Structures are given as C-alpha cells and as structure tokens.
Amino acid sequence: MSEVKGLTSQQVKEQVQLGHVNVSPKPLVKTNRQIFCEHVFTLFNVYNFVIACALIYVKAWSSLFFVLIVTMNTVIHIYQDIRSRNMVARLNLIISPKTKVLRDGCIQEIDNEEIVLNDVVFLETGMQISSDCIVLDTQVEVDESLLTGEADPVLKDIGDHLLSGSFIISGACHACVEHVGMDNYATKIASEARKRKPVTSELVKTFKKVTRFTSMLVLPISICLLYQAMGIRNETLNTTIVNTSTALLGMLPIGLVLLTSVSLATSVVRLGKRKVLVQEMFSIETLSHVDVLCLDKTGTLTQGKMQVQDVYTFDTQWSHQFSLIMNSFVKGTLDNNATSLTLQDYFQGEAPYSTLRRVSFSSARKWSALELENIGTIIVGAPEIILPDFVLPTQIEEAKHQGARILLIARHHDFDTFQEDMMHSVPLAVIVILDPLREDAKETIQFFKDNDVDVKVISGDNPVTVSALASQAGIENAQNYIDASTLSTPQELEDAILNYHVIGRASPSQKHEMILCLQKHKQKVAMTGDGVNDVLALKDADVSIAMGSGSDAAKQISQFVVINGELSTMVDVVKEGRLDINNVTRSASMYYLKTIYTILISITCILLNMPYPFIPFQMTLLDNFVEGFPSFMILFEKNISKQKESIGRYTMRYSFPNAIAIVLCVIALKLLAPTLSLSLNQAFTILYYTTAILSIHMIYRIYSPINLYRTVVLIVDIVAFVLVSYITYDLLQLAPVTSLLFQYLIMTLLFGLIVSTCLSKIVVHYLDTYPQD
C-alpha cells in the first residue's frame, strides 16, 4: 500500500479547473420554485380556478368564499413542504457519505462531490462506491446487487473495475477514479443504483382512483346540468352557474390530499427533531401497517460498544507469542467492522510479524485470515465455523450463554490450502467479547409486543449468544432458537422464519430470503440493520431502518435513518406512522361523504330535472364543520392502534350509509314537495339542515366510543355551525324556518336517521362477514 501515490494539491486544482469533478447531475432537493409549481398547478386548482372565473363572471361574490379556503390550504401546503425539505436536507448533511482520498501523501476525508478524476480513493468494508474506479493494490469483494440484481458477491482483483453504486462487503483497497459525474456508470443508468425501492402508498393509490373517477364525471355531469338549467328549465345564467359550480365543487375532495401530505410532512419534521431522517415520505404510511419487525443484533439490539472481556489461551508452542501474533494480525488486517476495531483497541503492542497475504472478513464466511511471516496462517472467527467439533472450555460456554461473543484464534500451516483443510487448524486461543444490551431495548421490545408487531432477531452471530441477549431484551420465545447454518433447503428456511423468533448464523442471502418468505405469507416487514450484511434484506423489506452508526450502504438504501442510534427512537417512528394513517383514514370518511352524496345528488338532479339543491357558500360551511374542523381536531388524539381496515372499507362503513340517506332525503322531498305545498327554496332549506345533521351524525359514529374530548369537539362543532348559519343566514339564501317547516325538517331528519342506521347495520354485517384479506 505504501507504493500507491495519490494526487498532489496542484493536480487536484488542475482537475477542478478542467471540470473533472464528481458533481451530481441532478439537484438533491426540490427548489422553492418546483415546490410552488407542484402545489399551485394541480388538477384540483385548475377546476377551482375555472369555477371561480365562472362565478366572478356572473358576479356571484358570496359564492367565492371557497377560493379563500383553497388559497390558504395551498399556502400551508407549500410552507410545510419547504419546511420538510429543509429538515431532510439538514439531516442528509449529517449522514452524507464521505470518501477517503490519498492526496499529498496522506489520507483525507472529503465529500463525494469533491472527488476529481484520477483521485486515489481508499475503500473499506461498508462503503458505497461513489465513482467508477480501478483497483490498485488489494483484492476486495463487492456487492453489485443494486446494479445488476445479482446477490452473489463479486471478487475484484488488481486492475478490475469498481462500479459506482456498488459497495465493498469485504476487504479494503486503494483505487484510481476513472469516471466522475455524468460519466459514472450509476449516473448513466439514471442513478438507479442509489435509488431505494419505491414505496407503494395505499393512500395515494386510493386518492388517485377517486380523483380519476370524479374527474371523468365532472365534464358530462356539468354539461347535463347546464343544458337542463338553461335549455329545459330556462333558468338565468347566474342561477345556472351558481348551482352547477356547487355540484362540481362538492365532487372534489380537495382538502383530503392536502391533509394527507401536510400530515406526513409534519411527521417528517417531528421525526427530524428526534434525529430520524425520513428518506421516503410515504414510507411513514407503510410503517403503520407493519406486522413483523426484524432486528439485527449487533449495533441494533446491542449498544455496538464491544469490549474484550477475557482472552483464554491454549497450551501450544505459540502461547508465549500469542500477544505478538495478535498485535501483528490487527495491524495487518484491512477489516473495519466492529469486531476488528475492538481487537485493534485491545492488541496495541509491538507487531513484529509482517503480513504476506490476507482473506478479509465477510458475513458469509464468518472468519478472516492473515498469513504472517514466520508464523503461518492465523484465522480469526466463529469457533463452530473454523473447528465445528472443537469443545469450548466451560467458562467460555457460560459466557456465551450470557450473551458474549466468542472468537476462536487458530493457526494453519499453509495459506494456499487452509480454506479446504481448516479442520486441521490448531486452536491458539479464545477471545470473549462483550457487547452490552441497549438500555432502552426491553422497553422498546415491549412496546412492539403490546402493539401487534411480531419481533424477530436475525443475526449472523452464534445463536446461543443471540438467544441470551434476546431473552434479556424480552423477545418472545427467545430460548427457542435455530442455527441458520443448518438450513439447507428453501423450505427449512421458510419454516425457520415463520416459527422462530431468534435465528443465529444467518448469512446475508439468508436474511434476504427470510424477508421474502415473510412477504410471501402476506406479512408487512420492517427490517433494521447497520452493516453491509443487512443491505440485501433492507433493500427488499417493506420498511427499511438503518442505524446512524452503520455503513454507508445501509444508510443509503434505507427509508429511515435513526441518526442517534437509539432503539427507542423506532417507537417514535412507528407511532408517527400509525398516528398519520389513523388520522387520515378517519378524515377520509368525512371528506368522501360529501363526494359520494354530491355525485349521487347531481345524477338525481339530472334524472328528476331539478336544480342542484345547494349553493357554494352552503357547501363551504358544510365543508368546514363536517370535514375541516372535526378532521383537524381528531389530529390531537394520539391513536397509535394498528389500522384494521383499508381506507376504502372504512369509508364504506361510515360514509356510505349517511351519504345514501342524504340522497334519499333529496328524492323524497322532491317528490313530496308539491303535496306538502313546499316551495323549492323551502325544500332546499330542509335539505341543508338535514344534510348538516346527518353529516354530524356520521362524525358521531366515527368518534365513537365517545370520551370527554370528543364530546367537547362535537358540542363546539354543532354550536359553531348553528351560530355561523344564523349570522350568515342571508348569504346562505335559506327560507325562514316556520313552525311548519320545522316539523317537516324533523320528519325528514328522522327518515334520514332511520335509513342511515339501517344501512349502517347492513354494511357493518357485510364487512364483518367478509373481512379484509
């Protein structure tokens, strides 16, 4: 390595002047202008703009109040998105990957975008390769699965090419940068190598379906309403525009998409303050559905602060040289994992034996080896892998059963044949390493158990050690464990992950297959990890969570990065996900009520040749006191229970019965109005109050079971609605409520409540009989 020479400061300046710098071709974050355009120029806003222009044209000023609401919503959305973006950018800066480069004869750590062409970079285990380069001095193993989809590690020798977007899983080397910026392989394939698996959002899918459906109805319904009003009933342009605009406004659940995005963006900010980086906003939603949480042991369940507790040497001809051998081993190794760093801290004395050849540690092998001059091949790793039949001393077994990590140090006489002949190695010593359990582990595990999340520990460590620590953390059935190295078929692997909560000696590929097995059984899986051995599993998990102290590769691929590394922070992450999904699901029923009855009333108006029974100002009040206020106030309730139903079924359970009841009231009043001697304005006044009360009845059903807080919200909502209606009575264009009209209102309301109650029982029976898959 000493022969490798990097660039000088002058050479770096020359490359910068030539523009040969590893600058990312795309901005990392959206600009203010992009955010502004994204939220202003939307389909909803286009509809609202056209409707507003039509109302302005006929000078229906009192009907334009909705424009203020839409404008305020848009401004709030833009502000929240910018705030969320800034928070993510700040946290990204904290975990931004760095690269070690050899310049002016010494190693420097710089940002990836400061790399220049022909720079000599030093790559270690866990680092993601940021520029295409060529290996200069030492073999390394590379994972190119993010580029090629192939999970098997690729051995790279001197002169081989390393592709940006892949990462080092074993060894370390110097490499010369051959491409930067736009010329990098990962950039040429649109940076797919650095992209996480896109999150499938059920909320977004549902909203898009509803938006697509309502958008298809807007044009034909508006044409029919306009034609009937002006061509058949000969209504004035003013009346026609106002009535038609009201129908179109009611079809669009404008506030729901906003509420969802703002709710998720707010969670991004709240989690950011707790040192959690959210790299995919809608993964917060996915997290709320998680059924299984798979934990790694080292650095996740434990503190990752390893210490050598004991060194037990065996009586061999090498006993008196053991410390010198280990000093030489740690000096010659290129490994930078937690175990290697722990050994380096402990063995710091004279290192007389130089390194001739090496095999770096990998999670698949569970060992590393060095050929030391005048000594032979020294192997360090898992005892059961190096010498499966070797019996550990009693005190070492006891330490293992208490959660200690055990390393066997063995010697083989021939580096060329030791991998095929490891059983003839001579054990030199056993090292006991302690990695304490996190202080918050037990409390965190208990939270997940209490909240319907099954916790499994999948580790590459000895299953006895993993079991001991899992038991201390309170993992269910931790004493029943399985050794993944004994699993030889896919069926055995599947049985293991389905039936055990503690799995040891799992290879990276086995971890990956276990995640896929759980998903095959319809389980939503969250995976936490910090090492390169976790990357494959993290990549395909439904939710991936990396610890801030982990490898670059783990952090780059994960949707969440817990920067402070505290396990209890994951509780905050899950709580945020469940709070958001529960709040949005309940709010959706409030918003979709209006969408359902508006569409059905519009069709009814066309079939019965009658004007739409509401004006925009009436709908605005209904929006605020049926959708806005109740859905906003419910946000203050901390509901972290696991969602039981999809947003569609929840809407069907609560919105559908009341919406149908409102539509049947419209039909009944239209047909009975001549018999009851009701004018059109009187009938529409009854409908306004009936719609309001039936809508509040639905809020009551959503709020059930009622507690003090919800009771207060309902009372405030009802009182505020009555007061505002009274104060703005002229703007609402309602008929005076006489005693006779009041009686008809009570009768209509009773009819609507009976219909909604009966329909609700039918819908609930259907949903309970045919539960969601």
Q: How far is CA 551 from the centre of its chain?
A: 19
Rg (CA), the chain: 33
Residue-wise pLDDT for 339-364, tens only, equals: 898 999 999 989 999 999 999 888 77
Q: Residue 244 — very low, low, confident or very high, per pLDDT cuts 50/70/90?
A: confident
Residue showing tokens 């079924």: 649
Pairing of strands 133-135, 161-162: antiparallel
Q: Residue 151 — very low, low, confident or very high, per pLDDT cuts 50/70/90?
A: low
Residue 195's pLDDT is what? 47
Segment 545-563 shows an average pLDDT of 79
- Choose from 187-201, 421-435, 548-562, 640-654 the range with maximum mean pLDDT: 421-435
Q: Are the C-beta atoms of 424 and 377 separated by less than 8 Å?
A: no
pLDDT at 94 over 80: no
- Residue 209, classed as helix, strand or coil, is helix
- Choose from 31-45, 455-469, 618-632 the range with maximum mean pLDDT: 455-469
Q: Residue 193 — very low, low, confident or very high, per pLDDT cuts 50/70/90?
A: very low
Residue 186's pLDDT is what? 66
Residue 34's pLDDT is what? 83
Q: What is the overall mean pLDDT for the chain?
A: 85
Residue 664's pLDDT is what? 95
Please, where are the H alpha helices in 192-274?
A: 202-226, 237-251, 254-273
Residue 514's pLDDT is what? 94
Closest among 599, 578, 763, 609 to 224, alpha carbons compared? 609
Q: Residue 130 — very low, low, confident or very high, per pLDDT cuts 50/70/90?
A: confident
Q: What is the secondary structure of 459-483 as a DSSP string?
A: -SS-HHHHHHHHHHHT-TTTTSEEE
Worst-scoring range by mean pLDDT, 219-233, 374-388, 556-570?
556-570
Closest among 282, 265, 284, 285 to 87, alpha carbons compared? 265
Better pLDDT: 667 or 42 = 667
Residue 417's pLDDT is what? 92
Residue 108's pLDDT is what? 93
- Residue 363, classed as helix, strand or coil, is coil
Tokens found for residue 306: 């390893």
Q: Are the C-beta atoms of 103 and 12 separated by less than 8 Å?
A: yes
Q: What are phi and psi of 715, to 5 degrees?
A: -65, -45
Q: Residue 506 — very low, low, confident or very high, per pLDDT cuts 50/70/90?
A: confident
pLDDT at 253 over 80: no
Distance CA 424, CA 170 (A): 25
Please, where are the H alpha helices in 609-707?
A: 616-622, 629-633, 647-672, 680-703
Residue 60's pLDDT is what? 82
Better pLDDT: 481 or 532 = 481
Give percent of the chain above pLDDT 70: 93
Residue 330's pLDDT is what? 94
Residue 28's pLDDT is what? 54
Strand partners, 434: 307
Residue 638's pLDDT is what? 75
Q: Residue 501 — very low, low, confident or very high, per pLDDT cuts 50/70/90?
A: very high
pLDDT at 226 over 50: yes
Sheet holding 525-529, edge to edge: 276-278, 560-562, 543-547, 525-529, 292-295, 454-458, 502-504, 481-483
Residue 149's pLDDT is what? 59
Residue 574's pLDDT is what? 84
Distance CA 690, CA 678 (A): 16
Residue-wise pLDDT for 67-79, tens only, equals: 877 787 778 778 7
Segment 313-329 shows an average pLDDT of 93
Active site residues: 296
Distance CA 238, CA 219 (A): 19
Residue-wise pLDDT for 3-57, tens only, equals: 788 899 999 999 999 999 988 655 556 788 888 887 788 777 887 888 889 889 8
Residue 95's pLDDT is what? 57
Q: What angle do CA 167, 171, 173 make, to 5 degrees?
A: 80
Distance CA 711, CA 720 (A): 14
Distance CA 28, CA 134 (A): 27
Q: Are the C-beta atoms of 459 and 296 separated by less than 8 Å?
A: yes
Segment 65-92 shows an average pLDDT of 75
Strand partners, 355: 372
Residue 114's pLDDT is what? 92
Residue 428's pLDDT is what? 95
Q: How many residues does the chain have?
A: 773
Closest among 704, 674, 695 to 749, alpha carbons compared? 695
Distance CA 464, CA 504 (A): 8
Better pLDDT: 699 or 61 = 699
Q: What are phi and psi of 212, to 5 degrees?
A: -65, -40
Please, where are the H alpha helices in 507-568?
A: 508-520, 535-540, 552-557
Residue 215's pLDDT is what? 76
pLDDT at 743 over 90: yes
Q: What are phi and psi of 110, to 5 degrees?
A: -130, 165
Residue 167's pLDDT is what? 85
Better pLDDT: 95 or 71 = 71
pLDDT at 81 over 80: no
pLDDT at 194 over 90: no
Better pLDDT: 641 or 737 = 737
Q: Residue 150 — very low, low, confident or very high, per pLDDT cuts 50/70/90?
A: low
Torsion 188-190-196-200 (CA) sign: negative
Q: Residue 169 — very low, low, confident or very high, per pLDDT cuts 50/70/90?
A: confident
Give percent of the chain above pLDDT 90: 37
Distance CA 348, CA 328 (A): 9
Distance CA 680, CA 239 (A): 13
Sequence-distant (≥ 6) Cβ neighbours of residue 541 within 8 angstroms: 294, 515, 525, 526, 527
Residue-wise pLDDT for 287-317, tens only, equals: 888 899 998 877 778 877 789 999 999 999 9
